[in-house]
């Protein structure tokens, strides 16, 4: 019971009270309870840190900063229930009875070996202006726009973490403080985050060159506006097993011509196709590269990844195609953003 009491605070307790409990229980979390230990929510050290960034006083009540929609499990839970929640890197999950009275909790640090990690770095491109999403991006960088209940880039980071990739680099430029203040060093999200500062816009490949010193093995590059449930481990294994220099995650794209298309031979029409559909393979904004490829990127110069791809093709380097069969959305336009917010409720 002493162990459980170290997890409890009331919603009228101060932030400093909650911090003292977090220091005692070593879970990074406290459980907020009401009368008779009824579950009200949870509060993490990350929640507190973000409140302090917003100039909330340590002596303030936690009432306005704790998570009232927290995850919880019932006391007859099974292992799959716990795994499905803790894999979201929720640090501690309350266990309740049928009346939502807290009877115990499960901590992430006790349930998983969270030290297991893949060595391959992940470089997320988050420095763009997001001009096609204005006015949504007038005051916030595109990767920080919420899809569902969290920023797009947070979903990307959590997906990589669940696949074992925790060595994260984020290339930032436009309104970068929003990203850096939210994620900090990544420890609240179960990863390690370092920031690649673009003093000027460098393009996708140019930002890779800035991160060269950290990229010593095959690494991912992904645009910070991609919503997908691709299997990242499968992509990396595909790249390595086929010994590609670079692998591009590709997506099938259908385009319908809204007219009848005439096929001609000199002055004569040989056939007519009514509104035909043409299919193309397009880049999905997800790549795996070998570090040896970085030398082809010019230093301190704006350089897009499309330029790099064409250069590698001309130099006969081995470039792989990895078709993305899973859900994929490039959130480049306002209508894409609204569609992604509909899709995430059903698919993620």
Domains of the chain: 2-111 (3.10.580.10), 122-347 (3.90.550.10)
Higher-confidence residue of 333 and 213: namely: 213
What is the pTM assigned to this prediction? 0.66
pLDDT in tens, 3-30: 688 899 999 999 999 988 887 887 889 9
Q: What's the count of helices (H) and strands (E) in the chain, helices before strands?
A: 11, 19
Comparing CA positions, the residue from 144, 285, 157, 158 lying closest to residue 221 is 285
pLDDT greater than 70 at residue 111: no
Q: Is 228 left (phi over 0), alpha (psi -120 to 50) or beta?
A: beta
pLDDT greater than 70 at residue 130: no
CA 268 to chain centre: 55
Instruction: Say how many residues make up the chain.
Output: 348
How far is the C-alpha of 287 from the C-alpha of 238, rounded, in Å?
A: 12
CB-based contact 175:142 (threshold 8 Å): no
Q: Which 8-state DSSP code applies to residue 99?
A: T
How far is the C-alpha of 73 from the C-alpha of 103, rounded, in Å?
A: 10
Tokens 């380097």 sit on residue:
317
pLDDT in tens, 290-328: 999 999 999 888 999 999 999 999 999 999 988 887 888
Q: Which 8-state DSSP code applies to residue 132?
A: G
Tokens 């894999």 sit on residue:
87
What residues contact 47, with CB distance under 8 A and at least 6 apart? 65, 66, 67
């Amino acid at each position: 019971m002493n162990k459980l009491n170290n997890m409890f605070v009331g919603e009228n307790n101060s932030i400093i009270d909650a911090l003292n409990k977090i220091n005692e229980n070593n879970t990074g979390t406290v459980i907020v309870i009401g009368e008779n230990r009824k579950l009200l929510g949870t509060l993490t050290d990350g929640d507190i840190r973000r409140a302090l960034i917003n100039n909330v006083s340590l002596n303030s009540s936690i009432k306005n900063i704790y998570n009232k929609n927290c995850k919880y499990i019932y006391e007859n839970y099974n292992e799959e229930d716990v795994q499905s929640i803790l894999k979201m890197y929720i640090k501690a999950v309350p266990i309740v009875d049928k009346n939502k009275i807290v009877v115990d909790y499960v901590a992430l640090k006790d349930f998983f070996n969270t030290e297991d990690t893949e060595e391959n770095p992940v470089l997320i491109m988050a420095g763009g202006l997001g001009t096609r999403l204005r006015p949504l991006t007038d005051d916030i960088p595109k990767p920080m726009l919420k899809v569902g209940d969290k920023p797009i880039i947070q979903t990307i980071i959590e997906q990589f973490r669940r696949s074992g990739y925790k060595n994260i680099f984020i290339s930032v430029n436009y309104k970068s403080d929003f990203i850096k203040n939210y994620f900090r060093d990544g420890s609240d999200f179960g990863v390690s985050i370092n920031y690649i500062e673009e003093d000027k816009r460098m393009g996708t490949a140019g930002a890779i060159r800035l991160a060269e010193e950290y990229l010593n093995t095959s690494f991912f590059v992904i645009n910070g506006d991609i919503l997908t449930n691709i299997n990242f481990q499968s992509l990396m294994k595909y790249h390595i097993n086929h010994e590609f220099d670079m692998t591009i995650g590709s997506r099938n794209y259908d385009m319908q011509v809204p007219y009848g298309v005439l096929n001609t031979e000199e002055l004569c029409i040989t056939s007519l196709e009514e509104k035909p559909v043409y299919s193309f393979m397009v880049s999905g904004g997800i790549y795996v590269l070998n570090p040896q490829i970085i030398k082809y990127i010019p230093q301190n110069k704006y350089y897009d990844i499309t330029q790099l791809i064409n250069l590698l093709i001309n130099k006969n380097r081995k470039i792989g195609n990895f078709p993305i069969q899973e859900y994929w959305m490039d959130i480049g336009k306002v209508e894409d953003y609204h569609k992604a917010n509909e899709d995430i409720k059903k698919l993620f």
